[in-house]
Amino acid sequence: MSLSWIVIALASATVSGVVNVFDKTFIHKYARTVQTLPLLVGFAQVTIGIVVLAAVPLPDTVSLWFSATALVSGIIFGISGSLMLKVLFQQEVSRTVPVMQIAPIFAAAFALIFLDETLTAMQWLAILSTVAGAVMLSVRFDNGFGGIPLNRNFFILVLAAAIFAMGNIVGKVALEHLPVMYTHGMRSLGLGAVFLLFHLRREPLQHVKEMLKERSPGLLVVGANELVIANSSLILLLWALSIGPVSLVTALVATRAMFIVIFSTLLALIWRGALGEVITVRAIAVKTGSTALIVAGVAGIATQ
């Protein structure tokens, strides 16, 4: 197995973990509505899409169908991201994003159906480990009671994971005919359009205007995150998808759960209460053990 796409996918996972921590930082410190961050993301992604498409040369293989495929991939990804951010506004980052790591299950199934990719029996068993870790990260211990909250947010995240996986499948189809940067530009347009469509409302727009007037540092957080960090993560993901199997790339990207737990827990330990994270010994133990299961599962999925 070539190491190139594996390294690129892991790099995307690392950077993506930073993105999610920055998202939670903005939500925890600056956002007054659940729609403020998605609205800013929408503006940023549409801007990125326009700039990238204006800067990169038109590929020889471009066609209306392939361009539409890349655009639809971004739209699907935007729907998934919008659902995830909705939940992220309500609960801890290290308990939100890891549940999304069940996406490899859907990616493997979709890739089998639509792309004729296959996994070994050992890799399918490893998927179960990933799911177990994701579910364990949803366990809450309130007043000494442990239970799995199969509530509305949990099922929203499961749906978001399935949509994310399909977005990667459609993106892979586009990448078979289009270069990475052109595909990224089209995907950014689709992603940004969805975020604006869902979140361009009076209250968050008013909040953004107030932040601009006050020169809020929250705008710098979002700007650095979306224009640089998130942009880099998305390009790395597309690069890995362009040269690796979509089922395994999606699985490796799931390792961002490990980086999120590390980053968010360290920040909470340094600045108590940062990101709204619970940092009791029990909570850290559950998060660490659950993430270990996810990482073990991902390692098994990637083994050939």
Taking residues 185-197, what's their average pLDDT?
A: 95
Domain count, the chain: 1
Q: Chain centroid to CA 259: how far?
A: 13
Instruction: For residue 198, count other CB atoms closer than 10 A to its CB.
Output: 18
Q: Which tokens in the block code for residue 11?
A: 């790099």
- Beta strands at 140-142 and 145-147: parallel, antiparallel or unpaired: antiparallel
What is the CB neighbour count within 10 angstroms for residue 81?
24
Rounded CA gap, 25 and 297, in Å? 29
Predicted pLDDT at 147: 47
Structural domain of residue 192, as residue ranges? Answer: 4-301
Residue 274 confidence (pLDDT) above 60 = no
The position carrying tokens 């980052």 is 93
Q: Look at the chain and count its residues.
A: 304
**266 against 76, higher pLDDT:** 76
Position 202 pLDDT exceeds 80: yes
Q: What's the token pair of residue 53?
A: 């498409």
* 148 pLDDT tier (thresholds 50, 70, 90): very low
pTM of the model: 0.82
Whose structure tokens read 């010994």?
281
Q: Is 83 in contact with 159 (CB distance < 8 Å)?
A: yes
Section 87-101 average pLDDT: 67
Residue 223: CB atoms within 10 A of its CB come to 12
Beta bridge partners of residue 142, listed in sequence order:
145
Residue 26 in contact with residue 263, Cβ under 8 Å?
Answer: no
pLDDT score at 125? 80
- Cα–Cα distances in angstroms (integers) from residue 81 to residues 54, 74, 88, 198, in the given order: 25, 10, 10, 11
Confidence at residue 135, expressed as pLDDT on a 0 to 100 scale: 65
pLDDT at 150: 58
In this predicted structure, what is the pLDDT of residue 27? 77
